């Protein structure tokens, strides 16, 4: 098994796959990448048993074979190279992956011990699958708008992931941690048969980074236990979260007679400033709402600090003081692109519903944030 490959192309693949490698794996073989060369194509696989990721790239090589290469060592070596071709040769007698690079007057060589590929876990087989195709832009947008709202409670694993729900009306993505909730809908992607699954957080974080700037189709294949996301060069297979997702529609208030309309960026900047004066445990920020302005205020009695700021707005409804966790509001505002946003409310002890005013055609975003009890 011998091949020559661009150092930068290989580094890109290795960096993408490195997010899968676990620092506390129970199987030592999973500290390795699985290299397979066949028909001028190098396939690199990484796995933590729950998630498997495969990257493919063209190489100039001969022979076929599989070996397990130490992931951390390979990644650290590749980071030191400028763009140049590197030749790899798997020496079966010495169990070494031999690297050679450079020109005749500046030649370098290094040897990396490798392990046999037989010990590496097999990819999960998938039967009785459902398949659909979405664009990378849609998938990246859905992940970006929902992932931040997932929970971290090990006792409620279904809330640590994102619900993917395919319906005849559209594709729905939902995330919640019981304090905030996001529902993102794409009406331009439909399914004749309603199906759903819960995606874990780790592969979604990897896809969020990987798909930034990509423009391609993503084929999604799934059954009751696993999901597979495939582009031309990357495949991600993950074990789904088992369980029934909470009835998220039941917690979204339907009657919200009070509505705040405000410029998103100016509201976000005001919140950032005022939040510096809030209690570091509760992050409580007060919104005092009246027809032409909102007063944003916070205080920390223990530290003896307080601040308030007036911001222009349009407000329709009864005068009201309502408190929110500033971190939650800032996360939501930071994951929207609309110039203006609305917050619909009913009472100070009921959830606020945040929505962008301007959304692309076929797209709908609803963000719910629970209030905090205001201290006098």
Weakest-pLDDT range from 101-105, 109-113, 206-210, 261-265: 101-105
Same domain, 244 and 299: no
Beta-carbon contacts of 60 under 8 Å, excluding residues fewer than 6 positions away, are: 3, 4, 5, 40
Same domain, 44 and 145: no
Residues 124-143 pLDDT 10s = 888 988 888 999 999 999 99
Residue 19 to residues 30, 48, 76, 130, 197, Cα–Cα distance (Å): 12, 10, 14, 27, 23
**Domain boundary at 231, 250, 269, which?**
250
Cα separation, 3 vs 65, in Å, equals 11
Select from 33, 29, 30, 35 the least CA-distant residue to 5. Answer: 35
Same domain, 275 and 363: yes
**Domain boundary at 219, 250, 281, which?**
250
Q: What is the CATH number of the domain that holds 151?
A: 3.10.150.10
Could you give the angle at the alpha carbon of 221 between the alpha carbons of 216 and 225, nearest 5°? 140
The answer to the question of residue 124 being in a domain is: no
376 falls in which pLDDT band (50, 70, 90)? low
Same domain, 270 and 200: no
Same domain, 187 and 264: no
Rounded to 5 degrees, φ, ψ at 54 are -130, 130
Residue 9 to residues 45, 78, 94, 102, Cα–Cα distance (Å): 15, 10, 27, 16
The answer to the question of residue 125 being in a domain is: no
Q: Specify the number of domains making up the chain.
A: 3
Residues 300-330 pLDDT 10s = 988 899 999 999 999 999 999 999 999 999 9
Side-chain-facing half-sphere of 215: CA atoms under 13 Å? 0
Residues 50-90 pLDDT 10s = 999 999 999 998 888 999 999 999 999 999 999 999 999 99
pTM of the predicted model over 0.95:
no
Return the pLDDT at 23: 81
Q: Are 256 and 353 in contact (CB under 8 A)?
A: yes
The answer to the question of residue 136 being in a domain is: yes
Return the pLDDT at 22: 85
- DSSP conformation class of 122: P
What is the spatial order of strands in the sheet that 320-325 belongs to?
305-312, 293-300, 284-290, 320-325, 371-372
Which residues constitute the domain of residue 101?
2-119
Return the pLDDT at 235: 95
Same domain, 234 and 134: yes
Cα separation, 240 vs 198, in Å, equals 6
Summary mean pLDDT of the chain = 93
212 falls in which pLDDT band (50, 70, 90)? confident
41 falls in which pLDDT band (50, 70, 90)? very high
Rounded to 5 degrees, φ, ψ at 349 are -105, 10
* Residue 30 CB burial class (10 angstroms; 0-12, 13-18, ≥19): buried
**Domain boundary at 235, 250, 265, which?**
250
């Amino acid at each position: 098994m011998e091949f020559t490959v661009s150092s930068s192309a290989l580094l890109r693949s290795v960096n993408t796959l490195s997010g899968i490698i676990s620092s506390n794996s129970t199987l030592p073989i999973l500290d390795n990448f699985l290299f397979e060369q066949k028909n001028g194509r190098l396939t690199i696989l990484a796995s933590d048993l729950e998630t498997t990721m495969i990257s493919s790239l063209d190489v100039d090589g001969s022979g076929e074979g599989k070996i397990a290469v130490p992931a951390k060592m390979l990644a650290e070596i590749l980071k030191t190279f400028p763009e140049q071709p590197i030749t790899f040769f798997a020496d079966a007698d010495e169990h070494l992956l031999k690297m050679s690079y450079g020109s005749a007057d500046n030649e370098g060589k290094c040897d990396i011990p490798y392990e046999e590929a037989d010990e590496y876990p097999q990819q999960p087989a998938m039967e009785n699958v459902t398949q659909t195709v979405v664009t990378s832009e849609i998938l990246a947008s859905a992940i970006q708008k929902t992932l931040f709202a997932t929970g971290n409670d090990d006792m409620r694993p279904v809330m640590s992931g994102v619900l993917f729900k395919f319906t005849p009306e559209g594709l729905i993505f939902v995330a919640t941690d019981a304090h905030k909730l996001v529902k993102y809908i794409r009406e331009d992607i439909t399914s004749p048969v309603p199906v759903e699954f819960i995606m874990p957080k780790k592969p979604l974080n990897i896809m969020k980074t990987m798909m930034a700037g990509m423009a391609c189709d993503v084929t999604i294949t799934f059954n009751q236990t696993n999901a597979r996301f495939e582009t031309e060069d990357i495949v991600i297979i993950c074990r789904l979260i088992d369980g029934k997702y909470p009835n998220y529609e039941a917690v979204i208030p339907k009657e919200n007679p009070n509505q705040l309309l405000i410029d998103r960026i100016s509201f976000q900047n005001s919140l950032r400033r005022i939040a510096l004066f809030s209690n570091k445990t509760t992050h409580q920020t007060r919104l005092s709402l009246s027809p032409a302005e909102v007063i944003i205020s916070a205080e920390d009695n223990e530290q003896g600090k307080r601040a308030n700021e007036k911001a222009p707005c349009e407000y329709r409804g009864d005068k009201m003081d309502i408190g929110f966790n500033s971190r939650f509001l800032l996360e939501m505002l930071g994951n929207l692109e609309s110039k203006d946003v609305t917050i619909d409310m009913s009472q100070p002890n009921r959830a606020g519903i945040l929505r962008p005013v301007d959304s692309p055609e076929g797209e709908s975003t609803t963000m719910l944030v629970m209030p905090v009890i205001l201290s006098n």
